[in-house]
Amino acid sequence: QVQLEESGGGSVQSGGSLRLSCAVSGYNGDRACMAWFRQIPGKELEGVAARCGDDRERYADSVAGRSTLSRDNAKNTLYLQMNNLKSDDTAMYLCAAGGAGILWGSLFRPNAYPYWGQGTQVTVSS
């Protein structure tokens, strides 16, 4: 059974940093594409950052330059370091895992990922 478990969310002040973690079990994520999405109530799910096993990466314009993905294959864990957080970053952050062959244009499409975690809340106060 594939399970994704997010952690690392919390409440921070504007300008602060957080590192989100997504631990995967039951699924070999070494070559897979994994991504972070965020959900704001009343809005569509938004792709934030994605990384595939062939080192392709994609960041949303809203977080580019402030966020960095990293992956620990030994721990089967994906990390998202987010710096200079803004109030607009307040959302539920969800981790997703999919196959290795997700095309660049589909990396931020939720239906490209069959496996999802429950999410971790990030709240940024100004």
pLDDT digits (tens, 9 = 90+) for 15-70: 999 999 999 998 876 788 999 999 998 999 999 999 998 889 999 999 999 999 99
Give tens-digit pLDDT for 86-123. Answer: 999 999 999 999 998 999 999 999 999 999 999 999 99
Question: Which of residues 73 and 118 earns the better pLDDT score?
Answer: 118
pLDDT at 73: 85
pLDDT at 66: 97
Euclidean distance between CA atoms 96 and 114, whole angstroms: 8
**Cβ 20 vs Cβ 36: under 8 Å:** yes
pLDDT at 25: 92
Give the number of other Cβ atoms within 10 Å of residue 21's Cβ: 17
